[in-house]
Amino acid sequence: MTAGLPIQEILTGLSIGSRLFLVALGLSLIFGVLGVLNFAHGAFYMVGAYATASIVGAAGGNFWVAAVGAALTVGLLGAVVEFGLIRRIYDRNELDQLILTFALVLIISDLTRTIWGSGTQTVETPAAFAGNVPVLGVSFPAYRLFVIVVAFLAMGVFWYVLTRTYVGQLVRATSSDRDMAALLGVDVPRLYTGVFAVGSVLAGLGGALTTPIQSFTPALGDQVIINAFVVVVIGGLGSFTGAFVGAMLIGLFQSFGVLVATGVNQLLPFLAMILVLIFRPEGLFGGEEL
């Protein structure tokens, strides 16, 4: 290990953060535009992981086909959920929406166990990224490096789409004033379904990319949703820069926390969330427009 920066811990932290970022970005996007805090987002992530495992089997071991297929499957699931259920209660308060999506957590977890069983699932690392590569003087798993690159790419793509394209303008306009956007001719319900589906695709992609790194059970969704809440609250609900910084921060907490004392890596995210809510409730990057 080189003297100075603990490169290994930083890379590990970024790799954990990158996976969290994908799921938190979707959560934050949905909250920012629709105003719904989707409790079922972790369950979507879990479905992404399971769908990947199934499609890998069916697609003769091709991980890439499986990851894309899983992300799209979850996107479709999201569109159906938005269209069939959440749309019916947009005029109700946020708490009803939170409770409705909590009901979905129970339903999706149950169906997942019914379809795939409650055993542990694993997916092999795609051949192209098997093994380690040298980075800044340390040897780091190539696949984890790839996930970090994907997260940075996703951040770039979202920044570009939201700030530089027409669709992005419509999304931002609807986010800041739904009624005015509707009056100006934006098809708000369709846009909502679209945004919810895209947010779900991100959850599914996060789940898919996680499968080669960790084995998983139907408890995966519960583990991830609490971390995703922490990330978006720290970063600022609705802020995608915030989701990025929050995710990387939590990732680094996890990788460095274990060095301090056992359990500190689990405790730090909640303490950080409490501190942020006390001193800057809108989040580190909250209050800015999408």
Task: Please give the residue ranges that form the binding site for another protein (CB under 8 A).
Answer: 37, 85, 88-89, 92-96, 98-100, 102-107, 109-111, 114, 222, 226, 229-230, 233, 237, 262-263, 266-267, 270-271, 273-274, 277-278, 281
Say how far apart CA 67 and CA 201 lie, in whole Å: 10
Among residues 172 and 280, whose Cβ is nearest to another protein? Answer: 280
**Residue whose CB is less far from another protein, 94 or 177:** 94
Q: Which two tokens stand for residue 30?
A: 């949905």
Write the DSSP assignment of 30-47 as a string of letters.
HHHHH----TTHHHHHHH
* Shortest distance, position 269 Cβ to another protein, whole Å: 8
Nearer to another protein, 106 or 167 (CB): 106
Spatial contact of 213 and 143, defined as CB atoms under 8 Å apart: yes
CB atoms closer than 10 angstroms to residue 270: 11
| Closest distance of CB 281 from another protein, Å | 5
Distance separating alpha carbons of residues 73 and 65, to the nearest angstrom: 12
CA angle 285, 230, 199 (to 5 degrees): 75
Residue whose CB is less far from another protein, 102 or 159: 102
Shortest distance, position 100 Cβ to another protein, whole Å: 5
Task: Report the residue number, 165 or 266, with the smaller CB distance to another protein.
Answer: 266
Contact between 48 and 203 under an 8 Å Cβ cutoff? The reply is yes
Least distance from C-beta 285 to another protein, angstroms? Answer: 15
Q: Supply the minimum distance, in Å, between the C-beta of residue 47 and another protein.
A: 15
